[in-house]
Structure 1
Amino acid sequence: MTGPIQVLASGDHFIAPQLFVDALQAAAPEAELDFRTQTTPWPHTPFGPVGNVKEASGTEDELLAALGDAEIALIQMAPFTERVIQASPNLKLIAVARGGPVNVDVAAATRAGIPVTFTPGRNAAAAAEFALGLMLAALRRINTSDAELKKGNWRGDYYAYENAGIELEGTTVGLVGYGAIGSIVARVLRAFGSRVLVADPYTDPAKAQADGVELTGLDDLLRRSSVVSLHARVTPETRHMLNADNLKLLPEGAVLVNSARGELMDYAPLPELLKTGRLGALAVDVYDIEPPPADWPLHQAPNVITTPHLAGATRQTADRAAAITAAQAAAHLRGERPEFLANPEVYAAAEGRAPGPRS
């Protein structure tokens, strides 16, 4: 006699395990499930590399103890390393509540026949809104004037022409990357009255035209944009795509925003570019080292806004991530192919239907 299906709900202090439990019970009400739970310390403790994966929270031993004989794992930051996967012969699905399963050794999971799912677009609205907030703060000196006023300094000189900010209306804004987040940013910018350039080799020109944005190359975008905002994924081809060579193409006084990933740009030349005025302002939510050290050069550079990787931090993001993750697991439980697969090769086509791996 077969008992209930063992499920690990591994959350943290952003996506609590109970969110996973409630979401899967709602998505698969007919399934007989027995839940085990784990709470990793993120975000109270920063994520980092664990074993052979990155951006993970908790330890391999803690995860193995929590996992037990579970067949399905609904996770946020848990480190599914090669060691964990090899030590979990009952595991049949790893469903990750993130835009990419960076804390999972997908190659090891594929070798073991375990599908890995992810949640694209879970934080698109949150990240887009945050990027726009960074733009506005940088363009209009919101953060610096707030800090000065709290110190008792009334910065009326910010009204002087040479110190005044610029408006988004009529300004050319360049977006590097045009996925779910970049598309939302563009839509809002157009409502502000901005001219929007997009550099993304994977964007359909017909879509760009329909959206009212201009598709162009990265160098041309940098030359023409008064504001540049990054919304690309990190790949070997996009790592340090902004660097000392092409940052010099920016117009004098340009504003640069990065709320995507720190690896997209080389941070080393930024302090000098800020001091010389080539960059008028920098607003970043992500870093080459997270968290940045106390002696990080940009802490002392002028006109810099820094936030601690908060772009996706909304309650709606947590709820949406749990729901999308649960939907992937519910499809698996029904014997269907999940929609968002990181390793679709684990499914072999058979009579138009994908049988469950490791069955």
Structure 2
Amino acid sequence: MTTVLVSGDDFIAPELFSAALSESLPSAGLTFRTLRTRWPNEPFGPVGADGQGNGGVKEASGTEEQVLEALGDASVALTQMAPFTARVIREAPALKFIGVARGGPVNVDLAAATAAGIPVTLTPGRNAAAAAEFAVGLILAAMRRITQADAALKEGIWRGDYYAYENAGLELDGATVGLVGYGAIGSIVARVLRAFGAHVLVSDPYADQARAHADGVELTALEDLLRRSSVVSLHARVTPETRHLLNADNLALLPEGAVLVNSARGELLDYAPLPGLLESGARRARPRRLRHRAAPGRLAAAQGPQRHHHPHLAGATRQTADRAALITAGEAARFLRGEPLRHVANPEVLTGS
């Protein structure tokens, strides 16, 4: 009999984990213990850090006490957001496996897990389709002024001036689009953009050239991509190497009227120079005057540069939750069967090095 903690939340419910694992191991004699935290209806944050912010884990939901009480004698834990801090790992000696249903297990103290000999798995690509669709949606919204026209109409403004040639939107067909990063998400975005008829540039030092050629995209340096692209979309992970990958120096390379989409992580982009670039007129900043239909004869100055702001929703689909639970449960099933794991965050545990 194996006791398993399924720690879910309001996005990936505990039942998704238990159903997926039960399907993978129908006759394994599993006993489930359950914990449900309130993310995303309650925000995540750091857990277990000292007063100076040292130690602990980040982007976690729930408390150490909740996790320890729910764990009991469980040897396997499946979670998305629950905090597996050094304290939790130290006070749960029965724990032998932690499966995390997200792209990076930032809610787990990897050093503590490694020291305890506990493999920690993750779920790369769980939200790739969702994030790719969202990025393409943002690109289309910016190029065709969808969100501005919607917001204006709700305020009683009929944006008929968008049919004026100088204000009209742009098509993806024939456009050059640059993708910074060509992993699971970037490659899907490229496939969709090429279906629209776009020429796709890719900047990614780790991209496979043969694969890029087969996919019909052009690999190039970041500076060349920025100079040539009318649309740039970011799809890289945040590392010390990629933090502020786009900054004041290279953002100035973008052509006038370029669309910049960041549906990945905020730290890829240095936001400090953006207001200056936008207000200077360097990025699609052609001022115009609009007629306010709710008050005939009244004129209002346009905002000039276009800005689209959205919550971090790129991965928020039901399929993402289902897929994440299935991948995590699959790793747990392989662990319990003694089979090789596929997505291990601390592989040194497996090699003993």
Please say whether Structure 1 and Structure 2 have the same fold, judged by a TM-score greater than 0.5.
yes
2:318 is aligned, of 294, 315, 322, to 315
Aligned counterparts, 1:241-320, within 5 A: 241-280=245-284, 302-320=305-323
Distance 2:70 2:96 in 1: 16
- Alignment match, 1:284: none
More divergent stretch after superposition (52-61 vs 316-325): 52-61
Q: Is residue 55 from structure 1 mapped to residue 56 from structure 2 by the alignment?
A: no
- Alignment match, 1:291: none
Note the C-alpha offset of 1:245.
Answer: 1.2
Note the C-alpha offset of 1:241.
Answer: 0.5
- Alignment match, 2:6: 9
* Structure 2 SS opposite 1:325: helix
Q: Deviations over 1:67-124 (max 9, x none)?
A: 2221100000111112211221111000011111121111211111000001111111
Q: CA 1:162/1:324 → structure 2, altered by over 3 Å: closer, same or farther?
A: same
Q: Is the 8 A contact 1:199 1:221 kept in 2?
A: yes
More divergent stretch after superposition (131-140 vs 95-104): 95-104
Aligned counterparts, 1:338-349, within 5 A: 338-348=341-351
Tell me the amino acid that sits aligned with residue 262 of structure 1: G
* Structure 2 SS opposite 1:280: coil
Aligned counterparts, 1:1-359, within 5 A: 4-51=1-48, 52-280=56-284, 302-348=305-351
RMSD: 1.4
Distance 1:241 1:60 in 2: 35
Tell me the amino acid that sits aligned with residue 338 of structure 1: L
Note the C-alpha offset of 1:161.
Answer: 1.7
Q: Is the 8 A contact 1:24 1:330 kept in 2?
A: yes
TM normalised by structure 1 equals 0.89
Distance 1:273 1:59 in 2: 43
Note the C-alpha offset of 1:229.
Answer: 0.3
> Considering only CA atoms, is the larger Rg found in Structure 1 or Structure 2?
2
Greater than 6 Å deviation, 4+ residue runs: none
Note the C-alpha offset of 1:222.
Answer: 0.8
What are structure 1's unaligned runs of at least 5 residues? 282-299, 350-359
Note the C-alpha offset of 1:224.
Answer: 0.9
Tell me the amino acid that sits aligned with residue 5 of structure 1: T
Tell me the amino acid that sits aligned with residue 103 of structure 2: G
Aligned length: 328
TM normalised by structure 2 equals 0.90
What are structure 2's unaligned runs of at least 5 residues? 49-55, 286-302
Q: Deviations over 1:133-168 (max 9, x none)?
A: 000001111001001001111011111122111111
More divergent stretch after superposition (155-164 vs 324-333): 155-164
Distance 2:85 2:243 in 1: 23
Q: CA 1:152/1:210 → structure 2, altered by over 3 Å: closer, same or farther?
A: same
Q: Is the 8 A contact 2:202 2:220 kept in 1?
A: yes
* Structure 1 SS opposite 2:232: strand
Distance 2:57 2:181 in 1: 25
Distance 2:69 2:271 in 1: 40
| Percent of residue pairs bearing the same amino acid type | 73
Distance 2:183 2:344 in 1: 17
Tell me the amino acid that sits aligned with residue 267 of structure 1: Y
Note the C-alpha offset of 1:301.
Answer: 8.7
Note the C-alpha offset of 1:232.
Answer: 0.4
